[in-house]
Structure 1
């Protein structure tokens, strides 16, 4: 991995911690779940030789502490943070990889600031606005149970349920993948924020679907993506399929499952390059 530069960016109501590595076209990674700037180190190490890779702590996670920790934080607020972060780093359209909740944020950004987005790869986003009413109600019920489980039984039970819902795990992984370290107090704090702020924000997010549909055929390229081994019944996979229908394209298949960014970083990076190169 190349040398890392870190900095803080002042945004309304918070300071955003971010890291920059490598050189070349700017690539911003939008993490899913409670992942912070360090979540995808294995993937970043395989991309920073020909990209300027930016990762950051989403507002409320790790070093990006909001001024009012109890304030409501929406997907739109996260998207505005990303808009300001990109504006501080480049004047050119950027490459973006959004995973899960990060993909939802990426879609909100692209609908509001398409001029900042060159190609956005949206990997299994919980974009419930794209689902049929029945499918959305089913997905919302799952997310509500996650909130309830966290509230009643704590992070351990909620995290186990989340892994079961998403199918994420490391039983299927590349042989040299570094397994996650023991859960730290910082990560537990991040889980608290995710379960109490970001999951409710997911449930209540209303994407500007017409604005996303209008990106079809423009210079802002949105690529729906899903893991090869992700269960087809998982609602994030269904969201990727619905996004593909909306944009008149196909779902790009990536190695691994919902957490393929961390379980298969080498193959995931290679596939990501293929997708980016297809836009050239």
Structure 2
């Protein structure tokens, strides 16, 4: 791929940093790859499969190279949507195609609801919003409890609960709070509290992301073509069930992608999916 051009963009309450990889092909529409709270480094492998297109990645506010300047402890998807709108406008290339995964998919839905003119096609991969699942109240409670555990007990106990949340098959029961808390050691996590509270997943984005309610009226009225995707191996998990709920709200089928929630990863963060097959499915979804 061509040399990456890293740029800086001032936003309200944050300084954003994003990367532009020029493509070798004739498609002039940039492809924006976004996650949250995952930063740009998580898309290194996936970007390499789109060397024919200009690929743009970024670090969401409060993550990696994108520093917050407002001192806020939490971020709402609407704020991320505003950041993304600024970024796309800064590119000056017209509407872009967007692949958005996990919290990035929630933020992208917020973007399209507000500024659909900026996005040609959105592929929203496993957006984890509890507002659209049948067990909404229980799911919202579980997600809020992860955040509360982080503030009360620290990173290890909260991350153990988060991992248990993401791995669980099927709906959360109404009496989920009576279940024993997972042991951090079972996941190789520390139980002691180091006193830090700056984690972008458990602290900054947990509640805002999972409690976001998609504006289906605005999304349906937007000029954007929307594809909602879920991994084949993710069936029954919270994020995949949420993808089903979002698709139902839009009146469209879910598009099944290879692998799992991180199916595009090729070793980033020590995780592996099926990136070649995933890229092929993404290319087809964007066509």
Normalised to the residue count of structure 1, the TM-score between the two structures is: 0.82
- 2:260 partner SS: coil
Compute the displacement of 1:31 (Å). 0.9
Compute the displacement of 1:246 (Å). 2.4
> In the alignment, which residue of structure 1 is the partner of 2:233?
229
- 2:18 partner SS: strand
Please say if residues 60 and 190 of structure 1, whose CA atoms lie closer than 8 Å, have aligned partners that are also in contact: no
Q: Does 1:211 align with 2:221?
A: no
Count of residue pairs brought into register by the alignment:
249
- Give the whole-Å Cα distance in 2 for the aligned partners of 1:167 and 1:46: 28
Cα separation, partners in 2 of 1:166 and 1:203, compared to 1, 3 Å: closer
262, 267, 271: which is aligned to 2:281? 271
- Give the whole-Å Cα distance in 2 for the aligned partners of 1:37 and 1:191: 19
- Give the whole-Å Cα distance in 2 for the aligned partners of 1:91 and 1:78: 20
Q: Does 1:165 align with 2:165?
A: yes
- Give the whole-Å Cα distance in 1 for the aligned partners of 2:69 and 2:274: 36
Please say if residues 60 and 69 of structure 1, whose CA atoms lie closer than 8 Å, have aligned partners that are also in contact: no
Cα separation, partners in 2 of 1:191 and 1:95, compared to 1, 3 Å: farther
Cα separation, partners in 2 of 1:92 and 1:136, compared to 1, 3 Å: same
Compute the displacement of 1:71 (Å). 5.1
- Give the whole-Å Cα distance in 1 for the aligned partners of 2:93 and 2:206: 32
Cα separation, partners in 2 of 1:129 and 1:210, compared to 1, 3 Å: farther
Please say if residues 244 and 254 of structure 2, whose CA atoms lie closer than 8 Å, have aligned partners that are also in contact: yes
Cα separation, partners in 2 of 1:164 and 1:71, compared to 1, 3 Å: closer
- Give the whole-Å Cα distance in 1 for the aligned partners of 2:263 and 2:243: 15
> In the alignment, which residue of structure 2 is the partner of 1:244?
247
Please say if residues 33 and 98 of structure 2, whose CA atoms lie closer than 8 Å, have aligned partners that are also in contact: yes
> In the alignment, which residue of structure 1 is the partner of 2:5?
5
Please say if residues 150 and 157 of structure 1, whose CA atoms lie closer than 8 Å, have aligned partners that are also in contact: yes
Alignment of 1:11-26 (within 5 A): 11-23=11-23, 24=27, 25-26=29-30
Normalised to the residue count of structure 2, the TM-score between the two structures is: 0.80
In structure 2, the gaps of 5 or more residues are: 169-195, 266-272
1:214-248, CA deviations, whole angstroms, 9 ceiling, x for partnerless residues? 34xxx41110100000031x232122112222222
Cα separation, partners in 2 of 1:190 and 1:120, compared to 1, 3 Å: farther
> In the alignment, which residue of structure 2 is the partner of 1:118?
120
Q: Which has the larger radius of gyration?
A: 2
Instruction: Name the Cα RMSD after superposition.
Output: 2.1
Cα separation, partners in 2 of 1:167 and 1:255, compared to 1, 3 Å: farther
